[in-house]
């Protein structure tokens, strides 16, 4: 099996096991405890992820990529296997601690993986690779929760954890099959953290890539997805079913476009302008969503948003990768990860506050208006610069 296949399979197993485990623990706590414990569960995961990103800034580029990837997968396998052997699934605090540990070790994998990818593949090939990674991420958000529900319903939580332990062990074996590095680690000179941060701040391409991600995460992902169930409750009966339809339709759009980009990579020129156009169209669709009450139209709008989101994610990643110095690309992706986690959290908090005065439809419209104004002004500024 060549390196490309090894990396894709390893990424899929990592994303799949993560999505399945988090959903499984949500099911376990949701059946036993109040919403307080559910919120605490997710807060512990994102809190652990945020702390992990802060710590990784100092060392992610100082160790071999495979070493970090292996450490992440071995740690996750040990955590899951320990829980499986212990068998204590009924104590919510115990599960919260487990999820926090998973949140700490899981983010180590991806920055190291990106560094290894950029060593092996050219910029042209990275379009296809990014599309494959997006495809893996989105498909596992559907497959993981579905199988977690299926296994837990047909069997039990212990059986599901056993399957996850086997999958994680398989991922460990696959990482072991990868080359340590295509570049001598001793030949890579990693500057100080202050130097890396200065590079990040003074690179217009890195700033633009991170800023657009921050904008979309805060005003779209962080505000739309967490309150989408409340949005569907205003459409009439069958709110849970409608919520699932809209969520799946967006994921299908993401998967379809990621599959297309993986087979036929797009142009690499004008990535910033193409990112701005994607944000602009997503904002326009969000306006339509805020004004629509017909389910079939909402399914169409969310499907189109999924298509555009895949284009944005793939090309935004490529813009970021092309602008990052290879010797410090791991750190750059840690910064990107911090911005990603922080912006989604900020959007969620803002949505919770604003909903004290506005309806969900009004919240969507306000966010869409801000997205439209900001993306249009940036697009015009970039065009006539």
- Collect the ranges in the chain with pLDDT lower than 50: 182-189
Give alpha helix (H) positions in 87-203.
Answer: 92-105, 109-120, 123-154, 157-176, 193-202
For the CA atoms of 321, 325, 327, 328, the dihedral, rounded to the nearest 10 degrees, stands at -70
pLDDT digits 0-9 by tens, 233-281: 777 777 767 777 887 888 888 888 888 877 766 556 677 888 888 999 9
DSSP one-letter string for 33-72: S-HHHHHHHHHHHHHHHHHHHHHHTTTTTTS-HHHHHHHH
CA distance readout (Å), 354 to 150, 214, 363: 37, 19, 7
Which among 104, 105, 107, 96 has a CA at the least distance from the CA of 25?
96
Quote the pTM value: 0.72
CA distance readout (Å), 308 to 76, 120, 151, 200, 205: 33, 28, 33, 26, 21
Two structure tokens written together for 343:
């912006």
What pLDDT is attached to residue 287?
A: 92
Using a 10 angstrom Cβ sphere, with 0-12 exposed, 13-18 middle and 19 or more buried, the burial of residue 181 is middle
What pLDDT is attached to residue 189?
A: 47
Q: Give the list of residues 6+ apart from residue 308 with CB closer than 8 angstroms, or none.
A: 253, 257, 278, 281, 282, 285
Query: What burial letters (b/e) apply to 196-217, b meaning 16+ CB within 10 Å?
Result: beebbeebeebebbbebbbbbb
**Chain mean pLDDT for the chain:** 79
What pLDDT is attached to residue 369?
A: 92
What pLDDT is attached to residue 269?
A: 67
């Amino acid at each position: 099996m060549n390196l490309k296949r090894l990396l894709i399979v390893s990424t899929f197993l990592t994303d799949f096991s993560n999505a399945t485990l988090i959903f499984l623990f949500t099911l376990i706590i949701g059946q036993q405890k109040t919403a307080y414990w559910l919120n605490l569960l997710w807060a512990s995961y994102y809190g652990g992820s945020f702390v992990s990103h802060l710590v990784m800034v100092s060392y992610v580029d100082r160790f071999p990529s495979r070493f970090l990837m292996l450490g992440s997968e071995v740690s996750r396998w040990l955590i899951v296997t320990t829980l499986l052997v212990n068998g204590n699934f009924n104590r919510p605090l115990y599960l919260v601690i487990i999820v926090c540990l998973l949140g700490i070790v899981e983010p180590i994998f991806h920055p190291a993986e990106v560094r290894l990818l950029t060593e092996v593949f050219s910029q042209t090939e990275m379009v296809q690779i990014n599309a494959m990674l997006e495809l893996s991420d989105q498909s596992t958000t559907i497959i993981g929760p579905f199988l977690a529900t299926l296994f837990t319903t047909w069997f039990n939580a212990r059986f599901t954890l056993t399957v996850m332990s086997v999958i994680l062990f398989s991922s460990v074996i696959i990482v072991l099959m990868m080359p340590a590095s295509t570049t001598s680690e001793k030949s890579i000179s990693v500057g100080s953290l202050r130097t890396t941060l200065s590079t990040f701040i003074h690179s217009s391409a890195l700033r633009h890539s991170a800023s657009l991600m921050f904008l979309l995460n805060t005003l779209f992902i962080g505000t739309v997805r967490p309150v989408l169930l409340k949005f569907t409750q205003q459409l009439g009966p069958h709110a849970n079913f409608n919520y699932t339809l809209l969520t799946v339709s967006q994921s299908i759009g993401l998967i379809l476009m990621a599959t297309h980009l993986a087979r036929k990579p797009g142009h690499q020129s004008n990535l910033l302008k193409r990112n701005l156009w994607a944000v602009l169209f997503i904002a326009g669709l969000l306006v339509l969503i805020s004004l629509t009450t017909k389910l079939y139209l909402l399914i169409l709008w969310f499907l189109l948003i999924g298509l555009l989101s895949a284009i944005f994610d793939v090309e935004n990643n490529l813009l970021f990768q092309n602008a990052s110095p290879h010797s410090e690309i791991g750190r750059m992706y840690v910064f990107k990860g911090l911005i990603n986690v922080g912006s989604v959290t900020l959007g969620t908090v803002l949505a919770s506050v604003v909903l004290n005065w506005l309806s969900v439809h009004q919240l969507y419209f306000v966010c869409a208006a801000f997205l439209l104004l900001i993306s249009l002004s940036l697009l015009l500024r970039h065009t006539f610069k």
